[in-house]
Structure formats: structure tokens, C-alpha cells
A and B are shown apart, each in its own frame.
Chain A
């Protein structure tokens, strides 16, 4: 590394260092694109949530205290926390089983590729798969009368994509565990149980909690799967938002959508801040 640094230095003409560099101009297309299609929409949501077209107006946010809206936020948090917890525990067990095998083997490859599809790119098709398998009238395996019950029916489908996501997120932490920790525990007379309780478990805990938060945020943001499962009753916040966009497009409903979206942004921001804090703690031990 050091030799590279030395070799790199003389290549830069001495006079240039003093002059102003305009190299940053090359990044302008990227910033313009991201500014227009990512930052601007987010700004529109935030500003739209707290303004009325003339100026600052917190009146829109009153909608967050509406009974239906409050229920949808409660539903969202309920569904997300249940599926995040169950998904995290199951996914961690699966990650441990996958990690203990050959890192280059077909099994890990298949689980990771399949996990990637189910966790990130499933969309509405996951709901259809469960309808085909256990739908109340059409189930191929059996007819589940509880299929359209909230949160149990949709919760099962959410766990179907939360477990693979946990596998993808948590596997690096498990792989990062060092054999020496186990040996050190044993040389001090510790049992397997002692190891997991006092060493392995404690070192993995921040990574586990961080991954659980990520799963929570993931379920919170999910819209396609629950909409394909049941589109008559808007159970969760994303469905409330989509209803207020697609119903009569008036200014009032646009503002309602923006206020709801702002509520989601705040919720996700809190979760992600906690996640980043935990992530810092994790990276100290598990590289």
C-alpha cells in the first residue's frame, strides 16, 4: 500500500495542486439525476406534509390523529414488529445452519440466491404463491380459513420474505465469528452453553438487534405483497397512502398522502438511526 502511495504522488503535476480543480464537474450529471428523482420527491413529501401551498402549516399533520390513520399506524407497527421478531429468530437459526457448511457449496449458493429473490424481488407474486398453497377456497395443500385474517394470514406471508432477508443480512456477522473465541472459552472451562450465553451471544447481539430493526423497516415499507393479499381493507399505512393518492385527486388528498408519507419517513428515520448506531457497535468486533 505504501509503495502505491509513493508511486502515485509524482504523477500529479506539482503546479496543479495549487490551482483549483474542476474535476468535480464530472459528477454533476449524477447529482442532477439524484437531485431530481430522489431528493426533490423526498423534499416534496416533507414540505407538502407541513405546508398548505402558501407557507408553513402544520394543519395537515392533524390527519395523523384521525382514528383510521392511527389504526393503520398501529397495524403497521404490529405487523412489522411481529414479523421482524419471528423472522429475525428463524433467520438467525437458518443463517447459522447455512454458515456452518461449505462457503462455496451449492447449498449456500442456492439459499442465498433463493433468499435474494424472496427477500428483495418477490413483489406481488409471494402473495399469489400463498393463495395457491393455502387460499381459503383454492388452496392446493389445504384451505386455511384464517388466510385473510390480520395479522396472522399476512404475517405468515411476511415471514416468508423476512426470514430470507435475515439470512442475507445476518450471515456476514455469523461468518465473522472467530474460532478462537470458542477455544478461549473452552480453555477457561466454559461449556457450549457458557459460550453462547457469555461470549458468542453477546458479541452477536448488536448485529442481531440491528438486523431485526432492518427487518422492521422492511416490513413497514412493504406494499406490493399486502396489497395483492387484500385490497379491499387498507390495513397498513402504505395502503392508506395509496388510497389517498388514487382516490379523487384533489389537493386535500394529495396533502393527506404527503402527511401520511411524512409520518412514515419519520418512523423509518428513527428505526434507521438506531440501526446505524447498532451497526457501529457491531463492526468493532465482527469484521
Chain B
């Protein structure tokens, strides 16, 4: 990783960083070299700090029964380990349900508020960002009686966790969608469509939302990443999702290769999601830059 850090990277065209904007030669040249050295050293050290534990986990998952040998058995036993595959399935299903419900709830509301009730915007923003300040563990304490009441009447499957997960996803989803809405002129689009006789439903579903697909994708990726990593609420409401299953395995035997195999797969998957997100964001900025 560290080897890809080259001065050329920092000097690439379009760069607005300090290094790139400094003129060559003289005091600036010296300072640029110093900054470059600082940058390479710092980034290398931090990359090592972040990668070493992950590397150890991956290496561990490939380790054979005797030191020095390698095997795929930890990875293949993800499928056969009792309960694990079911828990992964539940997590993936939860990711889909949570994303759909989050979009169905938040997207029309945010568009509607922007177009018709702008005075409620601050309130919506405040409520959406509120979950960042309320620890999940506190939310569980308050939710336990509600879930208990509902459970008396109907048995709830683990999929019902989507209710809380939507709340946890609100801050991330709100910020993605809000920045998407900032970038388009929703009001003018809506008025153009309305003047051509479109209903409000058509305006939202067929005019505004198609212009927001990147923001929608961003919100969805963040929601999926969040659901993949969630442990606290599932564990304390006594449901088994992927993270809870991993935790249970770690209690049974800490050295299980399957534990490290699944954990690395989950982290890698989340990393890929966020990497995709960073590229989606870039294209939007570029287009905006071209328009300006």
C-alpha cells in the first residue's frame, strides 16, 4: 500500500492540495520536499497500523493445523458452521429491508418538505441527526419494553430489527440525500412538471427521484454497511444476526478460523461498498464542476 504513494500521485493534474499548488524551486521547493517526506512517512505508518491487525486476521484464517501450512478450510466452513450461514442470511435480508423502508420513509418526506413545507426542514434534520447523539445501548433500554409488548401478541422474527435499524441509518441516509437535493433545483423541476399537468406523485417518483439516483445509491450503501456491522441492538433484543453469531463463535472458541474468515469477509465487503460510494460521489462533483 505504502509503495503506491509517489510524488506523482500528489502532483497529478487537478490536484488542489498544498503540495501540488506550491511553485517549484527556492523556499517553496524545499518546503514541498519536506511536506512530501512527512506525507510518505505518516501515511506509511498509519497504513501499517491499520493493515497489520487485518492482515493478521486474514493470515490466521488461512492457517493450517500445523504452522507453515495453508488451508481454505476456515473459509469453506462458513457454509457448514452451525447457525452461521442462517445469521448471514438474516443480516443480508435485514440490509435489503432496512434500505427499502429507509428510502420509502425518508425520500418522499425530504422531497415533500423541500417543495411544500420548507418550514419543517430544520425539525426533520434535527430528528434525523438525533440518533448520532443517542447511544445504541440507550435506545435498546427504551425499546426493550416496546418490543416486549409487541412480542406478547405476535412472535417477531429477527427481521423485525429493521424498525430500529432504519432509525440508526437516518443520520447517514439524511446527509447523503440532503446533499443530493442541494445539487439539483428541485423546486424548478417540480414547477415545470406541475405546469405540464403532472400529479404530485409523478413529480416525486418520475421527475425528482431519477435525478437523485446517486444520492439514493450513497444512502443505500451506507445503510447496508451499517446493518452489516450492527451488534448492540440485535444482541440485547436477543436476536441473532451475523455479528451476534460471530460473537457467539468467539465465546465458544476464540481461535476458530471461521471467526476470522467471516470477520474479514464482512469488513472487506463494507470497504468495497464505501469504495464504490467514493467513486459515485466523484462523478457528481465532476459534472457539477463542468456546469459551473
A residues contacting B by CB (< 8 A) are 4, 7-8, 11, 21, 23-24, 26-27, 29-31, 33-34, 36-38, 40-45, 48, 90, 93-94, 96-107, 109-114, 116-118, 120-126, 128-135, 137-141, 160, 163-164, 179, 192, 217, 220-221, 223-224, 227-228, 231, 238, 241-242, 245-246, 254, 257-258, 260-261, 264-265, 268-269, 272
Q: Is the beta-carbon distance between B225 and A121 smaller than 8 angstroms?
A: yes
Known: A27-B117, A264-B138. 5 other contacts (CB 8 A): A38-B130, A112-B278, A139-B56, A238-B135, A261-B141
Q: Is the beta-carbon distance between B134 and A268 smaller than 8 angstroms?
A: yes
Mostly, the A contact residues are: helix
Tell me the complex Cα distance, A241–B16, Å: 48
Other-chain contact of B232, A105, A164, A217, A223 (Cβ < 8 Å): A223
Tell me the complex Cα distance, A102–B277, Å: 18
Number of contacts between A and B (CB, 8 Å)?
285
Closest to A245 in B: B236
Interface size on B, residues (CB 8 A): 100
Tell me the complex Cα distance, A29–B104, Å: 10
In the complex, whether B113 has a CB less than 8 A from a CB of chain A is yes
Mostly, the B contact residues are: helix
B residues contacting A by CB (< 8 A) are 1, 4-5, 9-12, 14-21, 31, 35, 38-39, 42-43, 46, 49-50, 52-57, 59-60, 105-106, 108-109, 112-113, 116-117, 120, 124, 127, 130-131, 133-146, 163-164, 166-167, 170, 185, 187-188, 191, 194-195, 225-226, 228-232, 235-236, 243, 246-247, 250-251, 254-255, 259-260, 263-264, 266-267, 270-271, 274-275, 277-279, 282
Tell me the complex Cα distance, A95–B91, Å: 33
Also in contact, A102 and B127, with CB within 8 A (given A37-B163, A160-B53)? no
Closest to B41 in A: A97
A-B contact pairs, 28 of them (CB 8 A): A8-B191, A21-B116, A23-B117, A26-B109, A29-B105, A37-B166, A37-B167, A38-B134, A38-B170, A42-B138, A97-B38, A101-B9, A103-B17, A105-B12, A106-B9, A107-B4, A116-B225, A124-B231, A124-B246, A125-B263, A138-B255, A139-B56, A140-B59, A163-B49, A224-B243, A238-B137, A245-B236, A268-B134
| Chain A residues whose CB sits within 8 angstroms of the CB of B116 once the complex forms | 21, 23, 26
Q: Is the beta-carbon distance between A221 and B39 smaller than 8 angstroms?
A: no
Q: Is the beta-carbon distance between A30 and B146 smaller than 8 angstroms?
A: no
| Chain A residues whose CB sits within 8 angstroms of the CB of B49 once the complex forms | 160, 163
Q: Is the beta-carbon distance between A132 and B260 smaller than 8 angstroms?
A: yes
Chain A min CB distance to B47 (Å): 8
Q: Is the beta-carbon distance between A101 and B19 smaller than 8 angstroms?
A: yes
Chain A min CB distance to B45 (Å): 9
Chain B min CB distance to A29 (Å): 7
Closest to A242 in B: B236
Also in contact, A128 and B135, with CB within 8 A (given A11-B195, A34-B167, A123-B243)? no
Closest to B115 in A: A23
Q: Is the beta-carbon distance between A121 and B9 smaller than 8 angstroms?
A: no
Chain A min CB distance to B121 (Å): 10
